[in-house]
Homo-oligomer: A and B are copies of this chain.
Amino acid sequence: MKAEIISIGSEILRGQITDTNANFIAKKLVESGIDLEHISAVSDYPESLLSTLKLALQRSDLIITTGGLGPTEDDITYQVIAKALHLKLIKYPEAEENLKIFFKKINRTISPSNLKQIYLPEGAKIIINQYGTAPAMILVKDNKIICSFPGVPYEMKNLIEENLIPYLKEKFPPSMIKKSKILKITGLGEAAVNELIRGYINKQTDYSFGIYAHPEDIQVQVTTQAPTEKEVEKLLQSSVNQLTKILGNYIYGSDEETIEEVVGNLLKTKKLKLAVAESCTGGMLGEMLTRIPGSSEYFQGGVISYQAKIKEDLLKVPLEVITKHGEVSQQVARLMAEGVRINCHSNIGISITGIAGPGGATEKKKVGLVYMALADGKKTIIQKHQLFGNRQLIRIRACRRVLNMLRLHLLGSGFTSSYL
């Protein structure tokens, strides 16, 4: 079955809003085992919508529209669907009843323009909208299923989850259960990941793979299907095992896991306390670590040592070291990590000092130069990176690098000290 989403509304094409509805529906369809082939956004002009609908009726079996069900003149979805399918619009008394109940609830009188909302294409199975005034519908004609939902995300989401998804699951019980796993990779580029796993990927017939580059990491997605939940889990795990063998410690987590969560869990397991000393990242590292509920179990806090004086006073970095080597130097990174470890009563101190730009660069120290250090009381590891991107990306990448350095250190992996 081929499925298609049409998002209706000139405000999408004018760039006033991002179409987030399509993403929600796409997710729900995938979970129901239905493949989505097209997403389109069209304006409120009847001709645009009509041609888009006609095309959809040719190429798709299931068409889901959102938007254009309101009370104003530019809400034309039901009229155009009726035209495309050569159907009349007829009055649905249950829609009229719902309007009355709704307006009574909000203590207003029905405005005449709301009355157009009670007319739907003939033959439609109406879905009463208890969240607003616009009724939704499911319409089956000539083996095509056309469904329309309001564009207001809150109404659309509730109505789709409560009505469309159960309808689709009953009508099209998935013969195969499909599952995906995302492996999240750091420390390798997209092309390098591709080269490492291509040999394996190309030999597989039971799986599909995708490699995606994000600003923060590279993600490998593996998807497979089987008739039962148990079989699909087994099949998926087998591929994940193979990929893990190839990619090893470059994989930092899977699916919704974040690097700060992975690091947090390692610290919790090892009962270690962490403190941070941040210069160019200005608090971002601490902010990331404290996104995790319960991070107070292992995160002590830290110092935002944006100015040299704070490095000296709160981290006890001697002023002469700063003067001699500069604030962005391996010597200062080391003393920041060691200083914050002691002054914030932690087992491990990590630090970042760098040039996030656009200003602050010198002949020898370019924008993107970042030193980071990890001190555990026995030794201090220092890394030097030349990062790229704009100011914010350099800062994000610096935080992720130092968190990865910490992750590998906690895993007991050797290759964190090889950078400098």
Chain A positions within 8 Å of B, measured between CB atoms, are 10-20, 22-30, 35-44, 48, 51-52, 55, 59, 70-74, 105-108, 111-114, 131, 133, 152, 154, 180, 189-192, 194-195, 198, 210-213, 215, 221, 276, 278, 280-287, 289-291, 293-296, 299-307, 309-310, 313-314, 343-345, 357-359, 386, 388-393, 395
Contacts and interface: CB of A to CB of B under 8 A. Distances in A.
A389 B154 contact: yes
Contacts of A314: 303, 314, 343-344
A303 B357 CA distance: 23
A191 B106 contact: no
Where chain A touches its partner, the secondary structure class is mixed
Contacts of A190: 70-72
Contacts of A39: 12-13, 19, 40-41
A359 B294 contact: yes
B14 A41 contact: no
Nearest to A285: B283
20 contacts: A10-B210, A11-B212, A13-B26, A13-B38, A15-B26, A16-B210, A16-B212, A17-B23, A72-B191, A72-B194, A74-B211, A111-B189, A280-B290, A282-B291, A301-B306, A301-B310, A302-B303, A302-B306, A314-B314, A314-B344
A154 B283 contact: no
A289 B154 CA distance: 25
A393 B106 contact: no
A281 B392 CA distance: 19
Given A15-B27, A282-B290, A191 B113 contact: yes
A213 B70 contact: yes
Nearest to A20: B18
Contacts of A133: 191
Nearest to A105: B388
Given A152-B213, A301-B305, A286 B293 contact: no
Given A106-B388, A191-B114, A283-B304, A72 B23 contact: no
A11 B300 contact: no
A357 B52 CA distance: 41
A14 B182 CA distance: 13
Contact of A38 (B41, B73, B293): B41
Residue from the set A11, A37, A301 with the largest chain B CB neighbour count within 10 Å: A301
Given A19-B19, A152-B215, A303-B304, 8 more contacts: A14-B30, A17-B23, A72-B194, A108-B189, A114-B191, A282-B289, A282-B301, A284-B287
B358 A293 contact: yes
B291 A281 contact: no
A282 B286 CA distance: 5
Nearest to A45: B37
A112 B195 contact: yes
Nearest to A188: B108
A59 B47 CA distance: 13
A416 B301 CA distance: 29
